[in-house]
Amino acid sequence: MTTERSSEGKDLVKFVQDAIDRGATTVEEIHKSIADLPLKVLEDTDLLKKPAKEVRRVQDHTIGAIYDLIRDINEKIGASASHLLTEAGKRRGGRERTRHRGGSHAADTKV
């Protein structure tokens, strides 16, 4: 039963991580699309075409870096959550084995 709970917990962690990753990618695409509009106008002007292309390059790099950081943090939090679930499962499994062997806890002992 402990393994089943641990597996369900890890499945939930994976589900949440995937949802955050997909959400970040979607928001990144929308962000780039909105940021692209004024740059298209500037690139249509001969005088500003070259500077606008450089601004686009920097902007795309910056936006990409921000969302890459969000995905990286999401991955690290997911790894930590999986580790914590594994450790909690081990502790819970140890307590269940103790109870099945007739062990007692302070809460189970009447004074």
pLDDT at residue number 89: 81
* pLDDT values of the chain reduced to their tens digit, one per residue, 111 residues: 456 776 788 889 999 999 999 999 999 999 999 999 999 999 999 999 999 999 999 999 999 999 999 999 999 999 999 999 888 888 877 666 666 665 555 545 444
Its pTM surpasses 0.85:
no
Question: How much is the pLDDT for 56?
Answer: 95
How far is 76 from 16, CA to CA, in rounded Å? 13
Q: What is the pLDDT of residue 44?
A: 95
Question: Residue 111 gets which letter from DSSP?
Answer: -
Cα–Cα separations (whole angstroms), residue 78 to 5, 60, 84, 109: 17, 27, 10, 38
Delimit the domains of the chain by residue range.
2-97
Instruction: Give 3-state DSSP helix, strand, coil % of the chain, rounded to 5.
Output: 85, 0, 15
User: Tokens 């099945």 appear where?
Assistant: 100
